[in-house]
Amino acid sequence: MRSYRRLLKKILRHRYHFHPELSIIIPFYNAEVYLERLLSHIVNTTNIKCEILCIDDGSEDDGASIVKRYRLVYGCIRLIRFEENRGLFVARQEGIKEARGDYIGFVDSDDMIVPEYFDMLYKAAVEEFSDIAVGQIINVNTKGERYLQMRCAEFPYDVKAQETLLEKYWHQQGRCYHFHVVWNKIYKASILKKALADTSKYLGHHVMLEDFVYSSLWFSAIRTFVTVPEARYFYYAKDQQHSCDYYIVQLEDIRDAFDFVKQYVSSEFMVDFKEWKALYGRIWKKNIKVSGVRVEQQDRLMEQLYSIFGETIGDITADDDYYYEIAEIV
């Protein structure tokens, strides 16, 4: 009994007095088939003092049980559960609120990272006194082929002389999506926590363009960065058919995201903001045309699209097609 009490005190002391260098936020929803692979990889290849915040967004599968099993062995793992599905934006928001690390990083449950990914990013951020450290995104298509994209090969993507990071963020007008996704970076926690007062105003269930909302507010405070090309994040494409209802929900998310961000955009970047929005109009016009849904459903979706982006939406151009531009198989 005495040895049990000593062990319990040790566990509680570690849990409540341990100060992590990095908080890793993993939101998940019905991700049972991926979670063990990711958790095993992180706990076995990460050496810095970290906490792993697993946010169960109302899953209906057994993902939470996997996290609980790992939590028994690894005291750095914490589980936060929502009773109902509240959306990716809210899940990440809760992770930021609960994070205790000096830096915060994100990884999606169905993606993967190289060994010591977070070690490399954290070491670079600390040594360079950087607000963010940025890794390299490797896309993995449905055939399992890994590739880079030329336009987004190296952060901050051809920043011009005397151009600030915030200016570059808006001037690229959404064509380098590696810029605004949150999962290829770690951030100084103080920046994300300070922004909670504004990001908490983005209400509702959102899973599309939530990165855009976060980044558009965060980059106003980000001044310094360091890149770590060896820190590779593997983003896995999904091969799935989408229904008309899926597109309706995604389009409403897009409407909400642009409407919310607009109120935080200064006048000097408003042209860039409008071009970014127009780009997404062209992208989703193309998505609807190749969606495979019935013609009458496409007509319904196009009406919704026009209500968001206006009726003068152009077609995708070669310059727009940033996502599918393959540089090389790696």
CATH of the domain at 223: 3.90.550.10
State the Cα–Cα distance between residues 95 and 106, nearest whole angstrom. Answer: 9
What's the pTM? 0.91
Tokens 């919310």 belong to 260
Of the listed ranges 108-122, 218-232, 237-251, 264-278, the least confidently predicted one is 237-251
Whole-number percent of the chain with pLDDT over 90: 74
E strand segments, 68-124: 77-81, 103-106, 112-113
Residue 301 has pLDDT above 90, yes or no: yes
Number of independent structural domains in the chain: 2
Residue 325 has pLDDT above 70, yes or no: no
What letters, b where the CB count within 10 A reaches 16 and e where it falls short, cover 296-316?
ebbebbbebbeebbeeebeee
Q: Letter for the amino acid at 297?
A: Q
Domain boundary (174, 201, 236) is at 236
Same domain, 153 and 257: no
Same domain, 261 and 227: no
Among 143-147, 161-165, 309-313, top mean pLDDT goes to 309-313
Residue pair 219/165 in contact (Cβ under 8 Å)? The answer is yes
In sequence order, the β-bridge partners of residue 270 are: none
Which domain, by its residues, includes 302? 244-329
Same domain, 248 and 125: no
Nearest CA to 131 among 219, 230, 233? 219
**Average confidence (pLDDT) over 149-173:** 80
Domain boundary (236, 264, 298) is at 236
Nearest CA to 254 among 280, 273, 276? 280
